[in-house]
């Protein structure tokens, strides 16, 4: 459809006053379109040729609304760094409405749209730096087959916004099937709005939870928790396998449908380091890379507590006990694919653990090692792999490869087909922080060409793209472990 034909509906806002506040956006005075995402246009059923329509500058900055739009600031609460905060909500974003396309409903959320009743001490704005990072992250994870919110377009301005320093203001239109967070349920539970809580449970179940129709209130809440537990387990398993650190896994940043949600100080690993902390405000390492599965389970416990008014405690406990086995199974499946193993053996976890220990000891680049391993065919010496590892660990690598060769021999798989399958599981292009910074610095000078190149590479990260090899190299030592704040 054409952009002029887009009409929004409002199932979430129509749930009632308990769920938020209608409010108009505060538009930029002189908006400029930075980029429109053709892949997301197609997802929404909008003609990709509309990507260059000048109306995006107005729509993406709140100066003009889509047909039928009724902007709405969502109210929620949440646990932040383990401490409950009741005063949360859409402080700088507005739910514009929903597009229905091919049996799915997609919500459009304008981020950076100005002050709302939930802005607290904030200014309701977003900066170009953080907006670009969120835009790229959604494409990076989606390209890796990990569920994520995405963004339809970015609009910039000359409006100054103060964070650690004065920066350029920007907005994006975020796209997700649902923007409901764990914190929505916590808010309704702790404020004792049981009827509204049951209404929200019913709404999410109708949309996403199979075979939930006709269940009692308790049955629906149990079905929802089981659904969210499974989706969250699959999500964090994908993060761990692909080396993604979220940085701020508060319950208000957890999607009820298991999407990666609310990008702040995230990072993909360069050198493999399980203890990596990407958020410089995380002084205790609560959200360190290796801690993510445990934190997600902690958040699921908080969600379960919010459902405890309608579900028996023993049932909640049974739901949560499924999480760890689900994470283990999903992670093992992803790692077998990365290692080129078509079958499953009990000892595979030892083979994988030994490799990760080697990568950690040697400070080896995570993504590049696996990409290089994808071309390994049992030759001796394995020079390309040894070039990835410091000389001090060469003997350790040789020993691991002997075990790997034995495992491959038991499968008796064709080396060529295995290599092709591994190249489709181990990306060549990864959203490294130094690449994001390169795009940000160019965009701040008005050059959006690097942004568009990186967006396209992240949307197809397993392809070679030989003309863009420079985007696939490891960062220099000085560009690793870039500290990031929550304003990122």
Q: Which residues are catalytic?
A: 252
Query: In sequence order, what are the residues at sequence separation of 6 or more whose Cβ sits closer than 8 angstroms to the Cβ of residue 134?
Result: 111, 151, 172, 174, 263
Q: At what angle do helices 323-339 and 348-362 cross, to 10 degrees?
A: 70
Closest to 138 measured CA to CA, from 115, 109, 167, 116: 109
Phi/psi at 368 (5° precision): -70, -35
What's the start-to-end Cα distance of the chain, in Å?
34
Phi/psi at 23 (5° precision): -160, 145
Q: At what angle do helices 182-190 and 292-306 cross, to 10 degrees?
A: 40
d(C-alpha 209, C-alpha 465), whole Å: 39
**Polymer length in residues for the chain:** 488
Say which DSSP state 342 is in. Answer: -
The answer to whether residues 248 and 279 touch, using CB atoms and an 8 Å cutoff, is: yes
The answer to whether residues 111 and 97 touch, using CB atoms and an 8 Å cutoff, is: no
Query: In sequence order, what are the residues at sequence separation of 6 or more whose Cβ sits closer than 8 angstroms to the Cβ of residue 129?
Result: 167, 440, 444, 487, 488
**Longest Cα separation, the chain:** 68
């Amino acid at each position: 459809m054409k952009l002029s034909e887009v009409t929004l509906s409002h199932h979430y806002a129509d749930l009632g006053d308990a769920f938020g506040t209608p409010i108009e956006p505060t538009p930029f005075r002189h908006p400029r379109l930075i980029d429109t995402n053709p892949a997301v246009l197609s997802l929404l059923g909008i003609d990709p040729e509309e990507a260059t329509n000048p109306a995006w500058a107005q729509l993406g900055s709140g100066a003009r609304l889509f047909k039928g739009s009724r902007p709405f600031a969502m109210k929620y609460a949440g646990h932040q760094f383990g401490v409950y905060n009741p005063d949360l909500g859409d402080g700088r974003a507005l739910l514009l409405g929903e597009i229905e396309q091919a049996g799915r409903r997609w919500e459009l959320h304008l981020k950076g749209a100005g002050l709302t009743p939930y802005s607290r001490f904030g200014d309701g704005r977003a900066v170009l730096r953080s907006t670009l990072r969120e835009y790229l992250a959604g494409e990076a994870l989606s390209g890796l087959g990990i569920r994520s919110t995405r963004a339809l377009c970015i609009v910039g301005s000359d409006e100054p916004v103060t964070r650690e320093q004065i920066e350029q203001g920007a907005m994006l239109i975020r796209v997700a099937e649902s923007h409901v967070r764990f914190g929505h349920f916590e808010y309704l539970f702790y404020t004792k709005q049981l009827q509204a809580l049951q209404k929200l449970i019913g709404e999410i179940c109708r949309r996403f939870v199979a075979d939930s129709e006709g269940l009692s209130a308790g049955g629906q809440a149990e079905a929802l928790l089981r659904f969210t537990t499974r989706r969250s387990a699959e999500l964090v398993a994908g993060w761990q396998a692909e080396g993604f650190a979220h940085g701020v896994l508060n319950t208000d940043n957890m999607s009820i449908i298991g999407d990666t949600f609310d990008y702040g100080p995230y990072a993909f690993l360069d050198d493999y380091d399980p203890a990596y902390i990407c958020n410089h405000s995380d002084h205790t390492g609560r959200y360190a890379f290796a801690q993510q599965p445990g934190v997600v389970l902690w958040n699921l416990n908080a969600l379960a507590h919010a459902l405890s008014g309608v579900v028996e405690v023993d049932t909640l406990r049974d739901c949560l006990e499924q999480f760890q086995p689900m994470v283990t199974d999903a992670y093992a499946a992803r790692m077998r694919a990365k290692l080129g193993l078509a079958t499953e053996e009990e000892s595979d976890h030892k083979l994988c653990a030994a490799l990760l220990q080697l990568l950690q000891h040697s400070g080896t680049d995570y993504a590049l090692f696996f990409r290089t391993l994808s071309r390994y065919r049992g030759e001796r010496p394995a020079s390309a792999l040894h070039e990835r590892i410091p000389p001090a660990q060469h003997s350790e690598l040789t020993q691991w490869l002997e075990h790997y060769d034995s495992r491959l021999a038991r499968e008796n798989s064709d080396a060529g087909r295995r290599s092709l399958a591994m190249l489709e599981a181990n990306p060549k292009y990864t959203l490294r922080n130094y690449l994001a910074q390169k795009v940000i610095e160019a965009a701040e000078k008005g050059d959006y060409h690097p942004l568009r190149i990186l967006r396209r590479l992240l949307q197809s990260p397993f392809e070679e793209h030989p003309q863009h090899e420079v985007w696939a190299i490891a960062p220099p030592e000085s560009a690793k472990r870039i500290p990031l704040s929550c304003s990122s």
